[in-house]
Structures are given as structure tokens and as C-alpha cells.
Amino acid sequence: DAGVTQSPTHLIKTRGQQVTLRCSPKSGHDTVSWYQQALGQGPQFIFQYYEEEERQRGNFPDRFSGHQFPNYSSELNVNALLLGDSALYLCASSLRTGVNEKLFFGSGTQLSVL
Amino acid sequence: DQQVKQNSPSLSVQEGRISILNCDYTNSMFDYFLWYKKYPAEGPTFLISISSIKDKNEDGRFTVFLNKSAKHLSLHIVPSQPGDSAVYFCAASEYNFNKFYFGSGTKLNVKP
């Protein structure tokens, strides 16, 4: 039973570039959430996708966008990269059946913006 | 706006003793709380959860306590083992939102 998988594991970009990160949820899960974890901080909620639509969004600018595919996998896109976007990006999956679903996390993509 | 706070960045405990990790929150609408453990180069791993209808939940060596009036929760690990050395995050969400707010983490070091 595969857990949450993310690619790539590491990425180096320069300011102004665009980046796409990918996530495959745990088998049987239909909801994908993205979190940004800056150095020394806890994960911060970016947005959540369910039924191929963005359902909830955190306090992130429109430069951050996403997509969910029919097979529940998801992409996170960041445009016009800033130095401050350097962080670990975590994907988490869950099953949206009822209340209090816990999140299963991938190992993350470490993004460095130079 | 930090709605979940872990005020101790680090904690060092002797093997076999109790580890107590603390977490405070400000949003009274939070009603579901989780603890995650994170090793370097890995994603956070779920440890234990508690909903606001309870004040205690136990799973093996791990117990979470919730004090709603104080908006405070704690994770107790007894007995602590060297393999427990990791960063521990608490997280909270409102009812059925599945949008979690995380604390900044506490790095636990269990010395042999």
C-alpha cells in the first residue's frame, strides 16, 4: 500500500521562475492538501483539493495555484518565485468521508530559490 | 497570526523518563487536535489525536491531555526511548474543516 508520494524531492530555481510540484495521495484517499514549511516553523496550510476543485485556501497569494486530476493526484504551481518561497512543500492526503480525518504526509519537496 | 503555539523549541529527557510536550491555542473554535512526529528528511507522521469531547486519549506509551478552558494540550511519552528523538508538532482544526494549524514544533532529544 503506497503512501503519499511527492516529486521531485529537491529543486533549485531562480527568482522569477515558475515551479510545479507533484503529489500522489495514499491509496483510497480523495483529498489532497498542500502545506509550506519554512525553516524552523511548522507547516502552513496553502490549499486543499477535493473533487478536482479548490475547497479551502490559506493566506497565500495567487502566485500559488493548484490542480487535482481525476485520479486524485495533485500539482502545486508557484509563479514568479521569490527568495521567501524557499521552503519544504508538503503534500497531505485524507479521506473526506466524515469528521476528524487525520492527514497522511509525503516526505516533501525541498525548494530552494536563488 | 499564530493560532497554535509550542513555546518550547527543544526538550532533553533521559531514557526511561517521562517526556511532556506542551501546546497552546487561541481559537476557541478548534475542536480536533493531533500530534505529529517528524524525523529529518521525512514527512510528519501521525501519532495521536483527541477531539474536544474528550480530555484524555491514550495509545500505548503516548497520552494526549486536553484542557479546553486553558486552551492547552500536552503529549506525554512514558517511558521515553532514544527512538522518540524527533521534532513534535501539534496541530488543530475546526469541526470538519480538515484545515490544520500547526505549532512551530518541539525538538525532543532522548538521551540513552
Q: Are A57 and A65 in contact (CB under 8 A)?
A: no
Give the tens place of pLDDT for each residue, A1-46: 679 999 999 999 999 999 999 999 999 899 999 999 999 899 999 9
Q: What is the mean pLDDT of chain A?
A: 93
Q: Chain B partners of A43 at a C-beta cutoff of 8 Å?
A: 44, 89, 100, 102
Q: Are B79 and B61 in contact (CB under 8 A)?
A: yes
Confidence of residue A96 (pLDDT cuts 50, 70, 90): confident
Give the C-alpha separation, B52 to B56, whole Å.
Answer: 10
Give the tens place of pLDDT for each residue, B17-50: 999 999 999 999 999 999 999 998 889 999 999 9
The predicted pLDDT at position A43 comes to 96
The predicted pLDDT at position A99 comes to 64
Q: Chain B partners of A33 at a C-beta cutoff of 8 Å?
A: 98-100
Poorest-confidence range of A59-63, A96-100, B74-78? A96-100
Please determine, for residue B96, whether its predicted confidence score (pLDDT) is greater than 80. no
Nearest to A99 among B34, B95, B100 (CB): B95
